């Protein structure tokens, strides 16, 4: 999220001149999507995107999902990367719950993990901004800083040519988000809630990425690989809706993985 | 302009202008995309920090595949710093059907596409440089949701 844009004088002037009344030029009604080169295999959403959709289906007691345990630090970089994504997702949950103390603790935890993996410098200002915004109960600003934190962490990893670690950060966040999504939908099952799990391309993407990182073959990564294979048939249901049993099963799987990500084994 | 000022202009100002053009980057394109997004932020859209970009020749297109969630509403904004370029962005579902809202727009170096997904799935965001005076034109795509 952004509140302070990178100001470009020419952009501002041009926009002022053209206004926003322009109409879309005619676009073909149908295309063959396979013919296009892709910039990215698939864009991984942040946890707050699915939380936003979940919020529209009815009230969610976000407080019951807030977690602030300090947890352990790992020496293995892939484990730290997964945990970083997981803890940033916890930050988004704490924002949903409007729990300022939890947000502040999570901000410090993210900073500590980022330092452990050598990218702390990139997020120190964000951790400070998270604390300040939480103190003022400016939830949009906290959300924005969490987004920036993840972006900065991944940007720093990419600069270090460690794109695989960056992908593990996304995966850690996605798993925690999916765990919460399935927990909420399991409690008050609706077809609309279950449909939010329909993410087969993301699942395939993560599976492919994990298969391409044999150097990160730590037990938790192997466990996630196997679990993604388990989850696939539960969400790839063709025209049939995703069942309550499938949602429960995915919750069990993601809860088990969450335990493996956050605890030393 | 007197001759003395002309010399200063040629020796000092022109190289700065040319240099600035030469070092234009995807980051510059991003600032244009964010400018297009700004009015929507005031309407409650959360704009994601990440962006996607690159450079394309005139007439070239690229796809960004993205997971969207039913219940959310999305805007995608495309921008380039090349002022006489024309860009476009459109959204298709997996079957290649155009699914954007009619208030999507395209004007010069900015374009935006609006989508309210009817199902949770991955979608294709097609970006194009329709026209450009440059051989390669930077572009950047940002998106927001509410």
- What confidence tens digit (pLDDT) does each residue in B22-35 have? 457 888 999 999 99
The answer to whether B92 faces chain A, any CB pair under 8 Å, is yes
- DSSP codes joined into one string, B49-65: S--EEEEE-TT-EEEEE
Burial of B58 (0-12, 13-18, 19+ CB in 10 A): middle
The answer to whether B145 faces chain A, any CB pair under 8 Å, is yes
**CA B144 → CA A84, A185, A208, distances in Å?**
23, 25, 27
pLDDT given for residue B18 in this prediction: 47
Q: In chain A, which residues have pLDDT < 50?
A: 1-11, 13-14, 16-21, 24
Contacts of B110 in chain A (CB under 8 A): 14-15, 18
Q: Would you call B37 and A2 a contact, using CB atoms and an 8 Å cutoff?
A: yes
Identify the sign of the CA torsion A15, B49, B87, B13: positive
Closest Cα in chain B, distance from residue A64 (Å): 23
Q: Which residues pair with B126 in a beta bridge?
A: B63, B90
* CA-wise closest residue to A183 among A65, A47, A48: A65
Which residue range is the domain that position B20 belongs to? 3-145
Give, as one character, the DSSP assignment of residue B2: -
Q: Would you call A6 and B34 a contact, using CB atoms and an 8 Å cutoff?
A: yes
Domain count, chain B: 1
Residues A99-155: tens digit of each pLDDT: 999 999 999 999 999 998 899 998 999 999 999 999 999 999 999 999 999 999 999
Sequence-distant (6+) residues with CB within 8 A of B11 are: none
Which of A39, A57, A138 to mutate against chain B (most B CBs within 10 Å)?
A39
Q: Which of A2, A43, A44 sits opposite B41 (nearest CB)?
A: A2
Contacts of B113 in chain A (CB under 8 A): 24
The answer to whether B108 faces chain A, any CB pair under 8 Å, is yes
Contact by Cβ (8 Å): A46, A92? yes
pLDDT given for residue A23 in this prediction: 52
Q: Which two tokens stand for residue B57?
A: 């020749």
Contact by Cβ (8 Å): B91, B124? yes
Q: Which of B28, B46, B120 sits opposite A1 (nearest CB)?
A: B46
Which of A4, A5, A37, A58 to mutate against chain B (most B CBs within 10 Å)?
A5
pLDDT given for residue A244 in this prediction: 98
- Is the pTM here over 0.90, yes or no? no
Closest Cα in chain B, distance from residue A90 (Å): 18
Q: Which helix (H) or strand (E) holds B126?
A: strand B121-131
Between CA A146 and CA A14 the distance in angstroms is: 31
Closest Cα in chain B, distance from residue A68 (Å): 25
- DSSP codes joined into one string, B25-50: -HHHHHHHHHHHHHHHHTTTPEEPS-
- The structure tokens 């013919």 sit at A35
Residues B42-55: tens digit of each pLDDT: 999 999 999 999 99
Closest Cα in chain A, distance from residue B55 (Å): 11
Using CA coordinates, name the residue in chain A closest to B93. A33
Size of interface A-B (CB pairs under 8 A): 176
Residues B111-145: tens digit of each pLDDT: 999 999 999 999 999 999 999 999 999 999 999 99
pLDDT given for residue A1 in this prediction: 39
Quick check: B107 pLDDT over 70?
A: yes
pLDDT band at B5 (very low <50, low <70, confident <90, very high): low
Burial of A132 (0-12, 13-18, 19+ CB in 10 A): middle
Task: Using only the alpha carbons of chain B, give its radius of gyration.
Answer: 18
pLDDT given for residue A214 in this prediction: 93
The CATH number of residue B105's host domain is: 2.60.120.380
Where does chain A have alpha helices with state H? 9-18, 47-55, 77-96, 100-116, 120-135, 139-159, 163-187, 191-195, 200-211, 219-235, 244-262
pLDDT band at B9 (very low <50, low <70, confident <90, very high): low
Q: Which two tokens stand for residue A181?
A: 């999504």
Contact by Cβ (8 Å): A113, A12? no
In this prediction the ipTM stands at 0.89
The answer to whether B121 faces chain A, any CB pair under 8 Å, is yes
pLDDT given for residue B13 in this prediction: 53
Kindly report the average pLDDT of chain B as a whole number. 89
Which of B65, B82, B90 to mutate against chain A (most A CBs within 10 Å)?
B65
CB atoms under 10 Å from CB of A260, counted, come to: 18
Contact by Cβ (8 Å): B22, B136? no
* Portion 62-81 of B in contact with A at CB < 8 A: 62-67, 69-72, 79, 81
């Amino acid at each position: 999220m952004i509140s302070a844009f990178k100001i470009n004088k020419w952009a501002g002037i041009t926009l002022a001149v053209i206004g926003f009344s322009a109409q879309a030029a005619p676009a073909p009604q149908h295309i063959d999507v396979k013919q296009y080169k892709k910039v990215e295999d698939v864009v991984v959403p942040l946890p707050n995107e699915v939380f936003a959709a979940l919020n529209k289906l009815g009230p969610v007691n976000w407080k019951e999902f807030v977690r602030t345990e300090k947890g352990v630090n790992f020496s293995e970089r892939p484990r730290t990367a997964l945990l970083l994504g997981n803890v940033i997702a916890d930050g988004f949950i704490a924002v949903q719950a409007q729990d300022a103390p939890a947000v502040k603790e999570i901000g410090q935890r993210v900073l500590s993990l980022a330092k452990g993996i050598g990218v702390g410098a990139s997020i120190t200002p964000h951790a400070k901004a998270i604390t300040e915004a939480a103190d003022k109960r400016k939830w949009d600003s906290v959300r924005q800083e969490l987004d920036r934190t993840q972006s900065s962490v991944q940007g720093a990893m990419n600069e270090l040519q460690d794109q695989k670690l960056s992908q593990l950060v996304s995966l850690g966040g996605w798993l925690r988000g999916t765990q919460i999504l399935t927990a909420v939908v399991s409690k008050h099952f609706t077809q609309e809630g279950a449909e939010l799990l329909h993410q087969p391309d993301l699942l395939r993407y993560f599976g492919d990425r994990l298969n391409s990182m044999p150097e990160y073959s730590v037990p938790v990564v192997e466990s996630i690989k196997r679990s993604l294979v388990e989850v696939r048939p539960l969400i790839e249901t063709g025209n049939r809706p995703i069942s309550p049993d499938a949602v429960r099963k995915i919750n069990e799987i993601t809860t088990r993985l969450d335990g493996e990500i956050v605890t030393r084994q | 302009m007197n001759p003395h000022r002309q010399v200063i202009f040629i020796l000092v100002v022109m190289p700065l202008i040319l240099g600035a053009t030469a070092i234009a980057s995807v980051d510059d394109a991003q600032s244009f995309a964010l400018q297009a997004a700004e009015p929507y932020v005031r309407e409650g859209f959360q704009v994601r920090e990440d962006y996607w970009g690159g450079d394309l020749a005139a007439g070239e297109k690229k796809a960004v595949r993205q997971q969207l969630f039913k219940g959310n509403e999305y805007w995608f904004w495309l921008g380039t710093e090349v002022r006489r370029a024309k860009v476009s962005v459109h959204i298709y579902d997996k079957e290649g059907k155009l699914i954007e809202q009619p208030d999507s727009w395209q004007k010069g170096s900015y374009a935006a596409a609006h989508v309210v997904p009817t199902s949770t799935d991955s979608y294709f965001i097609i970006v194009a440089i329709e026209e450009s005076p440059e051989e390669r034109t930077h572009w950047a795509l940002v998106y927001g949701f509410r």
